[in-house]
């Protein structure tokens, strides 16, 4: 047997042990490194693009438009007017009235949209499941009714001559009340309707947060002889405080916005400007009187004002809320 | 840069289309759009408009008309949105206040540019010259007066009799009106007076008539100065405030007022004659509805303002222009005005049909309601549109101040109006 042809090439056996030529290795890792660094940004890109297209770019454009005069027609020119728009709206008594009304809306919504749902959530937690679900469903129904439909129904209920509320009052012997036509009452009427619509939503959130409280804490307190009120005050309320602060934040920052449909259907800002708020006025400037510059200027003022309010509320939230860790 | 390019493109395409003249007849099937605010209202002419469209389509089988209901205060924004979206905008019921805007910015076509002169003259013959004039800008007709009305004092004859008043002698002056209203307040529980002066859809059309009738004006003749804090205007608003303070009139929404009058719960309603059809429907079998002219201030002559709309043509395609022009002719023909007057309540702008038995002759005899409206046609003081790009905001600010002066808690009418006049003057161009 001749083993000559089985002679192994020494370079082949050592091939696997030798490293790759240095040049090729560096090129591949640089490209791969770059791609690896790029991948997270690619994942972020759709979300960031949405933010930029739908929030930041219009915000910037609104800021620029607040210094221009334009009537919404694409064929009409946008003229630069500097601070004139701001001067004009500060000049308008209706603007200050709207700002004041916005404040009343926010303050007026808190009892209905935060306090009452808290009470309902606490009182319905111990009911047998069937009746608890029934109550919660009933309370949630106003939330699902479309706002315009709800407003139309309320208009009929509150009508001074034919609405059942006034017919009832007349039965008791008092004169009919113009809930929506009396400048002193109209704002509170609309605040009530906005709050009524929100009760279900707030109750749901607070009920869920309440159910998440560790029952062992409550049992321990009961063993120590705590009364119901003491349990609520010392255990449930502190542990609900994150949710409560969140609700307060939402109502304060978004409450006036939620009232838009009801104002538009029921009073259009009247009577005598008593129900208008900064959001409604902003819309009226833009689409009612086609003054986009005024609308954008009000929007910028609103942004700055509510931004400061939000910052203050977030600071408060960090200080006040209690977490069960 | 983008907007100037766009404006140039729109202008070029418009002139390019006008360079081709429109055909004498419509020979192939074509669809045109008709933007209309009567169609958008529940009580103000929707049925009558549909009837006219149906009659027109029966007479012109090649033309199909698509009615587009739009609220009058939304017409400008709706039109520009549809034009930009490339929708076909053909015929529009354009409120007079917005006609200038339509000619400059929305592509309204001057009739003299597309219709042969003889055909145009032939159609204009017989129309009220005042009406034709209102649609003319820079010597060309951009709008053909279509629905036209003046403010009329509708009143409930039954309530008058109940209060001991003679329904054949309606109040002719504001002082007489106050006396009658106080009597009505004392002996019935009806609301004595409702007016269409205030409200989001009204702007200042009726207010101009009220102030003009007292010898004042809302704005001066060359539209450079607001004059609504002049002594005559202050006097007029103070008169309205007095009526409100006495409980004779209340600040109700237009829906509530119309419903109240139609149900027989209001004694007098000063409003556009256009709601006549709606009120007649409510009054039939319920109460006796009558109409009188707008009240005067003492001996001064009444100067009612007009409300209403013109038809403006926006098509760029020659075939659609012919179709739209045919519809325009039909709507402003003797037959068209017969329906408009008898079924809606606007004025017939061809006076010849009033006594013609084939058209309105019989109807006018049976419905004396239209007479005060017709008589006021002679005394019209045309509505003066507010100037400049901020015209809507000027109007709204002015009306807000006047509403506050009439129904608010502050008695200082002169102070409120003067402050508002200075403020709105700053918004003038």
pLDDT digits (tens, 9 = 90+) for A200-217: 899 999 999 998 888 898
Give mean pLDDT, residues B158-177.
94
Query: Which among B65-79, B125-139, B207-221 has the top mean pLDDT?
Result: B207-221
Higher pLDDT residue, A130 or A27?
A130
From B4, B76, B389, residue closest to A69, measured CB to CB: B389
Arithmetic mean of pLDDT over chain B? 87
Q: Which residues of A touch B396 (CB under 8 A)?
A: 288-289
Orientation angle between helical segments B318-331 and B46-59, nearest 10 degrees: 120
Q: Which residues of B touch A91 (CB under 8 A)?
A: 423, 426
Contact B134, B310 (CB under 8 A): yes
Q: Say what the pLDDT of residue B17 is.
A: 46
DSSP assignment letter at B42: S
Contact A321, A91 (CB under 8 A): no
Structure tokens at A183: 């400048």
Give mean pLDDT, residues B309-320.
91
CA A61 to chain CA centroid, Å, is: 22
From B6, B250, B407, residue closest to A75, measured CB to CB: B6
- What band does B254 get if pLDDT is binned at 50, 70 and 90? confident
Q: Do A74 and B80 touch (CB under 8 A)?
A: yes
Q: Is 90 exceeded by the pLDDT of residue B377?
A: no
What tens digit of pLDDT does each residue of B12-28 get? 555 544 445 788 888 88
B141 and B252 assigned to the same domain: no
Q: Is 90 exceeded by the pLDDT of residue A133?
A: no
Q: Do B404 and A272 touch (CB under 8 A)?
A: yes
Q: Do A94 and B250 touch (CB under 8 A)?
A: no
Residue percentage of chain A with pLDDT more than 90 = 40
- What band does B429 get if pLDDT is binned at 50, 70 and 90? confident
From A71, A94, A270, residue closest to B389, measured CB to CB: A71
Intervals of CATH 1.10.3720.10 along chain A: 84-320
Spatial neighbors of A24 by CB under 8 A, at least 6 apart, are none
Higher pLDDT residue, B95 or B52?
B52
Closest CA in chain B for residue A72: B77
Query: Which among A67-76, B296-305, B339-348, B363-372 has the top mean pLDDT?
Result: B296-305
Most B CBs within 10 Å, among A75, A161, A284, to test the B interface? A75
- Of B222, B195, B223, B199, nearest to B209 by C-alpha is B195
B232 and B177 assigned to the same domain: yes
- What band does B6 get if pLDDT is binned at 50, 70 and 90? low
DSSP assignment letter at A113: I
**Distance between CA atoms of A207 and A213, rounded to whole angstroms?**
10
Q: Say what the pLDDT of residue B43 is.
A: 66
CA B289 to chain CA centroid, Å, is: 22
Closest CA in chain A for residue B402: A272
B12 and B86 assigned to the same domain: yes
B301 and B350 assigned to the same domain: no
Count CA within 13 A, CB hemisphere, residue B286: 16
Q: Say what the pLDDT of residue A27 is.
A: 59
For A198: left if phi > 0, alpha if psi spans -120 to 50, otherwise beta; the answer is alpha
Q: Do A289 and B77 touch (CB under 8 A)?
A: no
Q: Do B76 and A69 touch (CB under 8 A)?
A: no
Backbone φ and ψ of B151, nearest 5°: -70, 135
CA distance A77 to chain B (A): 7
Q: Which residues of B touch A285 (CB under 8 A)?
A: 393
Contact B92, B35 (CB under 8 A): yes
Closest CA in chain A for residue B107: A75
Structure tokens at B202: 């009204």
Q: Do A291 and B200 touch (CB under 8 A)?
A: no
Q: Where are the alpha helices (DSSP H) in chain A?
A: 10-13, 22-51, 57-65, 84-91, 93-110, 116-124, 129-144, 147-158, 164-171, 186-211, 215-223, 228-231, 237-258, 260-266, 278-283, 292-320
- CATH number of domain containing B136: 3.40.190.10
| Residues in a beta bridge with B65 | B32
Q: Do A74 and B390 touch (CB under 8 A)?
A: no
CA distance B344 to chain A (A): 26
**Domain of B180?**
151-305+386-425
Contact B309, B44 (CB under 8 A): no
Q: Do A92 and B423 touch (CB under 8 A)?
A: yes
**Cα angle A261, A92, A264; round to 5:** 10
Q: Say what the pLDDT of residue A299 is.
A: 93
Spatial neighbors of B166 by CB under 8 A, at least 6 apart, are B160
What tens digit of pLDDT does each residue of A15-41 get? 455 555 555 555 568 888 888 889 999
From B7, B76, B200, residue closest to A268, measured CB to CB: B200
- What band does B202 get if pLDDT is binned at 50, 70 and 90? confident
ipTM above 0.90, yes or no: no
- Of A251, A271, A305, A224, nearest to A108 by C-alpha is A251
Q: Say what the pLDDT of residue B16 is.
A: 47
CB pairs under 8 A between A and B: 67
Closest CA in chain B for residue A273: B400
What tens digit of pLDDT does each residue of A101-112 get? 999 999 999 999
Most A CBs within 10 Å, among B10, B84, B396, B429, to test the A interface? B396
Is residue B309 helix, strand or coil? strand
Residue percentage of chain B with pLDDT more than 90 = 47
β-pairing, B63-69 vs B30-36, is parallel
B327 and B300 assigned to the same domain: no
B158 and B136 assigned to the same domain: no
Q: Do A287 and B77 touch (CB under 8 A)?
A: yes
Arithmetic mean of pLDDT over chain A? 86
Maximum CA extent, chain A: 129
Q: Do A291 and B392 touch (CB under 8 A)?
A: yes
**Distance between CA atoms of B297 and B175, rounded to whole angstroms?**
8
Q: Say what the pLDDT of residue B196 is.
A: 92
Q: Do B407 and A272 touch (CB under 8 A)?
A: yes
CA distance B11 to chain A (A): 10
**Distance between CA atoms of A172 and A166, rounded to whole angstroms?**
10
Q: Which residues of B touch A98 (CB under 8 A)?
A: none
Contact A176, A163 (CB under 8 A): no
Q: Which residues of A touch B7 (CB under 8 A)?
A: 75
Structure tokens at A175: 């004169």
Q: Do A289 and B403 touch (CB under 8 A)?
A: no
B254 and B392 assigned to the same domain: yes
**Distance between CA atoms of A6 and A157, rounded to whole angstroms?**
105
**Distance between CA atoms of A268 and A262, rounded to whole angstroms?**
9
Q: How would you write A192-228 as a 3-class SS string?
A: HHHHHHHHHHHHHHHHHHHHCCCHHHHHHHHHCCCCH
Give mean pLDDT, residues A132-157.
90
B249 and B314 assigned to the same domain: no
What tens digit of pLDDT does each residue of A246-284 get? 999 999 888 888 899 999 988 888 788 899 999 999 998
Give mean pLDDT, residues A299-311.
92
B158 and B215 assigned to the same domain: yes
If you count them, how many residues does chain A have? 325
Closest CA in chain B for residue A85: B427
B273 and B414 assigned to the same domain: yes
CA distance A108 to chain B (A): 24
CA distance A160 to chain B (A): 10
Closest CA in chain A for residue B390: A291
How many domains does chain B contain in total? 2
Q: What sign has the CA pseudo-torsion B53, B58, B59, B61? A: positive
Structure tokens at B189: 């529980």
Q: Which residues of A touch B397 (CB under 8 A)?
A: 92, 94
Higher pLDDT residue, B15 or A44?
A44
Structure tokens at A223: 């063993």
- CATH architecture label of A84-320: Orthogonal Bundle (1.10)
B286 and B158 assigned to the same domain: yes
Contact B36, B68 (CB under 8 A): yes
- Does residue A271 have a cis bond before it (omega within 30 degrees)? yes
Give mean pLDDT, residues B367-378.
79
Backbone φ and ψ of A98, nearest 5°: -65, -40
From B105, B253, B396, residue closest to A289, measured CB to CB: B396
Q: A interface toward B at CB cutoff 8 Å?
A: 69, 71-78, 88, 91-92, 94, 161, 181, 183, 268, 270-273, 285, 287-291, 294
B141 and B248 assigned to the same domain: no
Q: Which residues of A touch B84 (CB under 8 A)?
A: 74
Orientation angle between helical segments B231-245 and B391-407, nearest 10 degrees: 50
pTM of the model: 0.77
Q: Say what the pLDDT of residue B19 is.
A: 47
Q: Say what the pLDDT of residue A297 is.
A: 94
Spatial neighbors of B260 by CB under 8 A, at least 6 apart, are A161, B191, B194, B252, B266
Count CA within 13 A, CB hemisphere, residue B84: 15
Give mean pLDDT, residues B172-176.
95
Lowest mean pLDDT among A59-63, A306-310, B4-8, B70-74: B4-8
Q: Is 90 exceeded by the pLDDT of residue B330?
A: yes
End-to-end alpha carbon distance in chain A: 82
**Distance between CA atoms of B19 and B82, rounded to whole angstroms?**
24
Is residue B410 helix, strand or coil? coil
Q: Is 80 exceeded by the pLDDT of residue B9?
A: no
């Amino acid at each position: 047997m001749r083993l000559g042809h089985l002679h192994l090439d020494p370079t082949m056996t050592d091939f696997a042990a030798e490293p790759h030529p240095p040049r090729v290795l560096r090129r591949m890792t640089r490209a791969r490194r770059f791609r690896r660094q790029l991948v997270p940004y690619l994942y972020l890109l759709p979300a960031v693009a949405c933010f930029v297209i739908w929030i930041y770019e219009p915000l910037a454009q609104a800021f620029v438009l607040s210094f221009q005069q334009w009537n919404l027609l694409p064929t009409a020119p946008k003229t630069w007017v500097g601070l004139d728009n701001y001067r004009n709206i500060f000049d308008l008594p209706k603007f200050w009235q709207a700002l004041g009304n916005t404040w009343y809306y926010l303050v007026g919504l808190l009892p209905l949209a935060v306090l009452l749902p808290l009470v309902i959530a606490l009182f319905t937690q111990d009911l047998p499941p069937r009746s608890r679900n029934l109550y919660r469903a009933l309370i949630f129904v106003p939330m699902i009714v479309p706002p315009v439909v709800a407003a139309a129904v309320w208009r009929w209920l509150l009508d001074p001559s034919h609405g059942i509320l006034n017919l009832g009052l007349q039965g008791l012997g008092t004169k009919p009340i113009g809930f929506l036509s009396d400048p002193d009452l109209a704002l509170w009427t609309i605040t009530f309707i906005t709050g009524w619509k929100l009760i279900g939503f707030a109750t749901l959130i607070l009920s869920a947060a309440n159910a998440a409280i560790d029952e062992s804490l409550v049992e321990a307190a009961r063993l120590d002889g705590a009364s119901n009120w003491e349990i609520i005050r010392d255990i449930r309320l502190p542990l609900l405080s994150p949710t409560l602060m969140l609700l307060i934040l939402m109502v304060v920052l978004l409450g006036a916005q939620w009232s838009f449909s009801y104002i538009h259907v029921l009073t259009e800002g009247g009577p005598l400007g008593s129900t208008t708020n900064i959001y409604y006025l902003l819309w009226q400037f833009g689409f009612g009187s086609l003054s986009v510059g005024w609308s954008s200027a009000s929007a910028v003022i609103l942004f700055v004002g509510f931004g400061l309010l939000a910052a203050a509320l977030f600071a408060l939230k960090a200080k006040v809320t209690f977490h069960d860790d | 840069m983008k907007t100037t390019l766009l404006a140039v493109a729109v202008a070029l395409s418009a002139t390019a289309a006008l360079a081709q003249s429109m055909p004498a007849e419509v020979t192939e099937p074509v669809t045109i759009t008709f933007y209309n605010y009567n169609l958008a209202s529940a009580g103000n002419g929707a049925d009558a408009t549909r009837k006219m469209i149906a009659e027109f389509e029966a007479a012109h089988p090649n033309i199909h008309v698509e009615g587009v209901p739009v609220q009058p205060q939304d017409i400008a924004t709706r039109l520009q949105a549809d034009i930009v979206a490339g929708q076909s905008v053909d015929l529009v019921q354009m409120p007079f206040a917005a006609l200038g805007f339509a000619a400059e910015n929305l592509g309204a076509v001057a009739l003299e540019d597309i219709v042969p002169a003889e055909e145009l003259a032939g159609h204009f013959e017989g129309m009220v010259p005042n009406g034709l004039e209102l649609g003319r800008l820079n010597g060309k007709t951009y709008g053909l007066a279509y629905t036209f009305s003046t403010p009329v004092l509708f009143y409930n004859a039954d309530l008058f009799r109940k209060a001991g008043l003679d329904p054949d002698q309606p109040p002719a002056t504001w002082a007489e009106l106050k006396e009658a209203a106080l009597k009505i307040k004392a002996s019935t529980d009806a609301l004595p007076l409702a007016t269409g002066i205030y409200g989001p859809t009204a702007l200042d059309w009726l207010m101009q008539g009220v102030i003009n009738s007292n010898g004042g004006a809302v704005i001066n003749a060359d539209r450079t100065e607001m004059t609504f804090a002049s002594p005559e205007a202050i006097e007029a608003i103070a008169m309205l405030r007095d009526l409100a303070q006495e409980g004779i009139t209340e600040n109700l929404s237009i829906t509530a007022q119309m419903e109240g009058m139609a149900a027989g719960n209001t004694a007098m309603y000063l409003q556009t004659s256009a709601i006549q059809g709606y009120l007649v429907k409510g009054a039939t079998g319920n109460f006796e509805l009558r109409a009188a002219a707008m009240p005067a201030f003492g001996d001064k002559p009444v100067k009612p303002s007009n409300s209403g709309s013109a038809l403006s043509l926006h098509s760029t395609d020659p075939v659609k222009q012919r179709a739209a022009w045919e519809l325009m002719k039909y709507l402003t023909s003797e037959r068209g005005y017969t329906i408009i007057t008898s079924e809606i309540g606007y004025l017939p702008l061809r006076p010849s049909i009033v006594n013609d038995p084939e058209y309105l002759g019989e109807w006018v005899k049976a419905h004396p309601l239209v007479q005060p409206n017709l008589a006021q046609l002679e005394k019209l003081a045309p509505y003066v549109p507010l100037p400049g790009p901020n015209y809507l905001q000027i109007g709204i600010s002015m009306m807000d101040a006047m509403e506050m002066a009439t129904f608010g808690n502050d008695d200082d009418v002169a102070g409120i109006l003067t402050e508002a006049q200075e403020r709105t003057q700053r918004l003038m161009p």
